[in-house]
Amino acid sequence: MTAHEPPRSLETVDLTKSFGGVRAVDGATVTFRHGRINALIGPNGSGKTTFFNCVTGMIRPDAGTVTYRGQQITGRPPHRIARAGIGRSFQLCRVFPRMTVLENMLVAVRPAGLRDLVGGAGSPAETDKARRLLVRVGIDHLENVEAANLSYGQQKLLELAGVLMGDPDTIMLDEPAGGVNPALIGRIGTLIRELNDEGKTFLVVEHNMDMVMSLSHHVVVFDRGRPIAEGTPSAVRADPRVLEAYLGI
Amino acid sequence: MPNASDTERTLVAAATAPAGRRVPARAVRMLAFTVCAALILSWPGLAPNPYILSAGVMVASYACTATAWNFMGGFTGYVSLGHAAFFGLGAYGTGVLIRDLDWPPFAAWLAAGVIVVLITVPVGIAALRVRGASFVIVSIAFVLILLLVAQTWQDLTGGSDGLVVPRPFPDLSRPEHHRAFFYLFVALLAVMLLAWWAIDRSRFGTGLKAVREDEDKAQALGVPTRNYKLVAYLISAFFTGLSGGMYALWFGDLDPIFQFSVLLGAYMVLMALLGGVRHLYGPLLGALIVGGALEYFELEFGGTQLHLVAAAVLLGVVVLVTPDGIIPAVRDLVRRFGPQDSSIREMTAAELLAHNRASGRGGPPPDEAPDEAAAPGTGEER
Ligand SMILES: Nc1ncnc2c1ncn2[C@@H]1O[C@H](COP(=O)(O)OP(=O)(O)O)[C@@H](O)[C@H]1O
Ligand SMILES: [Mg+2]
């Protein structure tokens, strides 16, 4: 079985983070494999978002390590981790409200040292790329609109496009379907699948079980800050520990 | 009644309107710029007496400091109340280099600017570890420390006896001296405005604005926020220092109480906020209003504390009435009552909403219904 497992992409060992007395992430040891759509599910407050924040450097873990493609990235600043190839979205969609859609995209352009000080926000090639991504998520006609004026769904699409702008290999999405209508959930799902076909690895926190079951190759179940079960969607759905965590049986 | 796809097309057309349609707006802007520049440059000729003339120099120096402040405050949203620290360092640096080392005045001035930058590196690294209110406190602490040092270190600064800076143009009469410095301050301001404009459209500027809007998000997208903030802080300190040095050369007499004053820092903030921190000319406009008012109070009522009350009231009004400053507020007014621009960039949120409603494809605004989504079919239809 292990013979045809894809290579490891993101790994954590004993990752731990407490807030005061609350152990939000409690010794989480998980491996996510390259090229898969991995889902991370678990009840509210089980530490999924905190896990994301520890991995992406937004929060420094109290203990444990994060390894990405064989390299230790624990405690590195977020922009370094982003540049290493991990893109992420936020649970409550975050865009730059008072910048235009196109400017939002250009924020993610790779810094070029002192050349950042002169010249435009993005080279013609980068601006082109931004526009192509906007076409891809379907909001290119809004490129000159301030992001605050977009609907919530459009902001979610913009956030996803912005993440793609940095050419990440691994994309971490925190509840991409949260607060979004069914039509758009379908579209986001299609986008994820297409991007995965192009070789992107996904790590998706999601409560929408239909989406999780139909989309993911591998599911990890979190409870009280650590994984309690993992496997294929159907195996996880049948796992009694999962039912217990979710339903308190 | 246009159907959805019609509206869609209008929107797209408007968004990509050919540059030719913007020309009148650009012409108006050029005209306004020329008129304002001409007015400012002719001020020394218009001023009826040396007092008014020197008030103009004072306002020009306020415009420099407020614009310098805005390199940090405006771009990154980090509000520093302690920018007088850089002003004072630039002023004393210039004065001391001339007095003790006999440097040529403007070489001393430039060198003082560089010294300010060098001192600011460690200060910035420390101060920028914190955000929001903590940063404000740290910035105030810095200027208070420098005030104490300057008052105590009598040998260097002359303490409260003051430091007399030799005049750079000893042959000029008093009015000629004021006139020369008016133009020097305006030239410094012009350089700053040019730098602000260049940064505003650069990748660096985009990153700074992203920090202002959402620092964590900017980091997550790969913006090296710490370095960007530090560079903005250094640029801001450099220009503030140069303004202080210029002030030293002009005024010729320094007292720690005035150079390292929290009040001066507060004025910078007030001026920038009043005019609009997101706009190139915002701090300049704010300086014209606040600086003008301060000088008026000074001339009219002498050394009373009335100007403090007036400044406090003004700050309250700004925060309550035009939180984004005068320039955006006036722009909105013009937009509402003036000729309609075809560019969708110029739309306000309300107008966009109305637009979407009219075409029957938008929904309630995001805060009303979070599970509203992208207009179904947006994009896919085309
Ligand atoms: N910044 C924070 N400060 C204090 N407690 C936090 C913070 N973030 C999360 N927590 C706590 O950590 C636990 C895990 O939260 P979170 O990671 O958001 O879970 P999930 O995303 O799975 O719903 C919760 O008990 C939450 O209250
Ligand atoms: Mg969460």
The yes-or-no verdict on residue B90 having pLDDT over 70 is yes
Lookup result for tokens 């270190």: B153
Same domain, B284 and B254: no
Residue B53 lies in a domain: no
pLDDT on residue A245: 74
Q: What percent of chain B has pLDDT over 90?
A: 47
Residue B246's contacts (CB-CB under 8 Å, 6 or more residues apart) are B61, B64, B109, B181, B184, B185, B188
**How far lies B368's CA from each of A101, A185, A245, in Å?**
21, 19, 33
pTM value?
A: 0.86
Mean pLDDT of B326-355: 61
What pLDDT, in 10s, does the model give residues A69-97?
Answer: 999 999 899 999 999 999 999 998 899 99
What is the domain range of residue B7? 1-36
Q: How far, in Å, CA of A34 to CA of A69, rounded? A: 9
B342 CB within 8 Å of a chain A CB? no
**Cα(A48) to centroid(ligand 2), Å:** 5
Q: Based on the fold, state whether residues B241 and B336 are members of the same structural domain.
A: no
What chain A residue is nearest to B15 in terms of C-alpha separation? A144
**Cβ contacts of B222 on chain A, cutoff 8 Å:** 79, 82-83, 108, 110-111, 166
Label residue B295 by pLDDT band (50, 70, 90): confident
Cα(B4) to ligand 1 centroid in Å equals 43
- Pick from A141, A172, A181 the residue to mutate for testing the B interface (most B CBs within 10 Å): A141
Q: Are residues B276 and B299 in the same domain?
A: yes
Mode of pairing for the β-strands spanning A218-223 and A226-231: antiparallel
Residue in B117, B136, B80 with CA at minimum distance from that of residue B277 = B80
The residues facing A12 across adjacent strands are A30, A66
How far, CA to CA in Å, does A222 sit from each of A29, A50, A86, A243? Answer: 11, 12, 21, 12
Length of chain B measured in residues: 382
Which of A221-225, B172-176, B366-370 has the lowest average pLDDT?
B366-370
Collect all residues of chain A within an 8 Å Cβ-Cβ radius of residue B373: 151-154, 156, 180-181, 183-184
Residue B380 lies in a domain: no
Q: Same structural domain for residues B181 and B229? A: yes
In a domain, B292, yes or no: yes
Domain spanning A8-247, CATH architecture: 3-Layer(aba) Sandwich (3.40)
Q: According to the model, what pLDDT value does residue B382 have?
A: 30
B187: CB partners within 8 A, 6+ apart: none
Among the bound ligands, name the one nearest to the CA of residue A47. Answer: 1
- Over residues A92-147, the pLDDT tens digits come to 889 999 999 999 999 998 877 777 777 788 888 899 999 999 999 999 999 999 99
Residue A8 has pLDDT above 90, yes or no: no
Pick the ligand that lies closest to the CA of residue A45: 1
**Contacts A–B by Cβ distance under 8 A:** 169
Model pLDDT, residue B357: 55
Give the span between the Cα atoms of B212 and B362, in whole angstroms: 29
Residue B377 lies in a domain: no
Query: What band does B338 get if pLDDT is binned at 50, 70 and 90?
Result: low
Query: Do B77 and B112 lie in a common domain?
Result: yes
Q: Do B253 and B194 share a domain, yes or no? A: yes
Contacting residues for B337 by C-beta, under 8 A, at least 6 apart:
none
On whether both B90 and B224 belong to a single domain, the answer is: yes
Q: Do B209 and B138 share a structural domain?
A: yes
Which range is least confidently modeled, A166-180, B18-32, B122-136, B333-347?
B333-347
Question: Which of the four pLDDT bands, split at 50, 70 and 90, describes residue A150?
Answer: very high
How far apart, in Å, are the Cα atoms of A25 and each of A51, A170, A227, A245, A247?
6, 21, 10, 16, 21
Q: What is the number of structural domains in chain B?
A: 3
Identify whether B369 is part of a domain: no
Q: Are A91 and A178 in contact (CB under 8 A)?
A: yes
In degrees and rounded to multiples of 5, residue A18 shows phi and psi of -115, 145
Domain boundaries, chain A: 8-247
Contact B276, B326 (CB under 8 A): yes
Distance A44 CA to ligand 1 centre (A): 9
Tokens 């599970």, located at residue: B371
- Is B207–A118 a contact, with Cβ atoms under 8 angstroms apart? no
Report the b/e string of A190-216 with b at 16+ CB within 10 A: ebbeebbeeebbbbbbbebeebbbebb
The pLDDT-based confidence of A230 (bands split at 50, 70, 90) is: very high
> Does one domain contain both B254 and B312?
no
Contact A213, A207 (CB under 8 A): no
Of A148, A157, A179, the CB nearest to B371: A179
Which residues in chain A are contacts of B380 at CB distance < 8 A? 138
Among B91-100, B117-126, B249-258, B339-348, the least confident range: B339-348
CA B256 to chain centroid = 24
* Ligand 2 centroid distance, CA of A49 (Å): 4
Q: Which of B163, B331, B321 is nearest to B251 (CA)?
A: B163
- Contacts of residue B319, defined as CB under 8 A and 6 or more positions apart, other chains included, come to B273
Contacts with B342 from chain A: Cβ below 8 Å: none
Percent helix, strand, coil in chain A (nearest 5)? 40, 25, 35
pLDDT tens-digit readout, B177-202: 999 999 999 999 999 999 999 999 99
Q: Give the integer Cα–Cα distance in Å for A122 and A140.
A: 17
Residue B287 resides in a domain = yes
Is residue B16 pLDDT above 50, yes or no?
Answer: no
Question: Which residues pair with residue A66 across a beta bridge?
Answer: A12
Domain contains B165: yes
Residue B48 lies in a domain: no
The closest residue, in CA terms, to atom 4 on ligand 1 is A19
What residues 210-249 of chain A have any CB closer than 8 A to a CB of chain B? none
Residue B353's SS3 state is helix
B311 and B215 inside one domain: no
**Residue A35 pLDDT > 50:** yes
Mean pLDDT of A181-208: 94
- Condensed to tens digits (0 to 9), the pLDDT of residues B105-163 reads 999 999 999 999 999 999 999 999 888 888 999 999 999 999 999 999 988 888 888 88
The residue ranking higher by pLDDT, B302 or A24, is: A24
> Quick check: B11 contacting A, CB < 8 Å?
yes
d(CA B292, CA B284): 11
Say if residues B287 and B178 touch (Cβ distance below 8 Å). Answer: no
Tell me how far the alpha carbon of residue B218 lies from the centroid of ligand 1, in angstroms.
22
Q: Are strands A170-174 and A8-19 parallel, antiparallel or unpaired?
A: unpaired
Together in a domain, B267 and B126: no
Chain B CB contacts of A118 below 8 Å: 198, 202
Which pLDDT does position B303 carry in this prediction?
66
Instruction: Round the average pLDDT of chain A to a whole number and report it.
Output: 91
Q: Summarize pLDDT for B160-174 with one digit per residue, the tens.
A: 888 888 889 989 998
Contacts of B8 by beta carbon, 8 Å cutoff, 6+ apart: A141, B359, B361, B381, B382
Same domain, B122 and B193: yes
Give Cα separations from B60 to A77, B40, B284 (angstroms).
Answer: 42, 9, 9
